[in-house]
Structure 1
Amino acid sequence: MGIIFLGTSEFAVEPLRQLVANGMAVDCVVTQPDRKRDRGKKIKGTPVKEVALELGLTVYQPENVNTAESVDFLKKFNADFLVVIAYGQLLSEQLLAIPSIVPLNVHGSLLPKYRGAAPIERAVMAGERVTGVTLIKVVKALDAGEMYLKREMEISDTMTSGDVESKLKVLGAQILIEGIQALQNGELTGIAQNSEDATYAHKITKEDRYIAFNSQGKDIINLVRGLQPRTFALAFYKGEPLGICKAVYEPIDLIGEMGEIIKIDKKKGILVQCKVGGIFITKLKPSGKKVMYFKAYLNGNPLNIGEKLESSK
């Protein structure tokens, strides 16, 4: 059995490790080219590349995996499976036709809900209590292939997208191994998705990050959790952006204007009024500075009760 693995981000690392750990032949790992990453802007390989080299696997990094050159190169491996996880490019029909058995994808949601680029973030932002992973056949339409296996997990009130992703990538590796073994033995049949039930998890934009204080406090908490740890929710204080990295819901009556600072508690944080309830802000990121706890922020930025945080400039 031969596998061509296409992946880029951290979400794809555990499935790749488990393929090798379970004795499955990964003939080639395809990942995005080295690019400037992180704050230092140094040229760096992808998380998948680093692990693939550690495991002694062949690595291929085309700018465009759909070119005739790339397709011809990958055909030479005579793979049984193409495994695509968080790769970062849509695949052509020529590529999808390469494996002798099936092209597979592990998607970070319970399909057909949250098809698209940001299923984990969108699920947490929406306040979902349950999510999961789905093993599907890769087709031209976005995340619309027939489903082979699913695994569910609960989302607690305190979990960030990063917390959820850490658990989902383990579940994803499990269903990938189980699915490949069953498909190889002819023991697994796909089930068509109901497109009428499909929802879409579009890529996170800057506008998505703005906090609307005229909404429920719990919804704002979900936004903050859903954006962490990759980025943060945004409010504005005196016209300057203020990142909100961690906050806790507080069930209070409407006693101030929405966005108004109504209490500063030395233990719990900065209490801000919302349409329903309030939020205690505990971790912030001022413009041009590092993330800090609210006490450190207050030392250099005295806030006054009655002042307001705005939803936009």
Structure 2
Amino acid sequence: MSAIVMNDVRREFDVATGSVWRMNRRIRKFEALRGVTLNVARGELFGLLGPNGAGKTTTIKILTTLLVPTSGEVYLNGLDAVRSPHQVRSRIGYVFGGDKGLYDRLSARDNLRYFSNLYRISPVEQRKRINELLEMMNLLDRQNDRVETFSRGMKQRLHIARGLLHDPDIIYLDEPTNGLDPLAARDVRAIVRNLKNSGKTILLTTHYMFEAEDLCDRLAVIADGRIIAEGTSKELGALANAGSVVRAEIIGGAQALCRNLEDRIDVVNCHLEPLGDRELLTIRFAAHAGIEVPRLVREAVAADNGAQLLDLQLREPTLEDKYVTLVSQSRDKESA
């Protein structure tokens, strides 16, 4: 049986436009999710990727029973999340990044005791569970200190402990390493791996592509309220038709060069970034472009008298390249 099932889920919101003071206020419908279908196996670590405003937060809120879908079906471990939200809540855990969600003037232990009471965990089970989680999160030596004295990484580990108090079957991790320093983020990723190895089903949202590729069994990309691609990192590359990536440092004429390259059928997209007195040009080629892509770039630069090539590097596409390509292709279809 699948742990998470979403069948053609849609969610509409009423959005106000105009100014009430000018008597031109209007209400229009905004469709945040437009037929999302997902299937996550039990024990799987599944990544949900997408740009800001794509529908990730709305999806998570529906999966945590904080929002009711306008239409569609949602099942969590076989339970109907729309008709039986109270039964579902006892089996899911939600962990989000940031400073909110904890009581700063309480100790770590008192925070966990408070949330245990909300879950109606018995006092005997509370002590056992809290001790286990404090040890798991490496917080035993700071258990009686106020949370306001904790670093951001320690707070995030306490967030995870809070989400695991009732030993949920399904865990939602919403950008758990956002804003953490590299060492703290590494600690959180190690905890996530251990949770997966213990048999938990995990749905992870993140903007860090290397993190998604490192942790997740499968991935889905959501854009404009739709799932536009799903599969392993290798399968996403095939869907994106992602080939080699060239990064070139250019002085002069970079914008015109980028437009000319984008007109080629073997170029997926170009991206320019300022780099001091020069510009960094990233060119993503289609899979059928072959191995001569550096030569193609050099010839394009040579044909443009206003551009000077300083450096050129060729590499294989990363998950970030595949993601950018898929989202760009989706936006092109929407605007067409």
Calculate the TM-score normalised by the size of structure 2: 0.26
Calculate the TM-score normalised by the size of structure 1: 0.28
**Which structure's relative contact order is higher, taking Cα pairs within 8 Å and 6+ residues apart?**
2
In terms of fraction of residues, the more strand-rich structure is 2
In terms of fraction of residues, the more helix-rich structure is 2
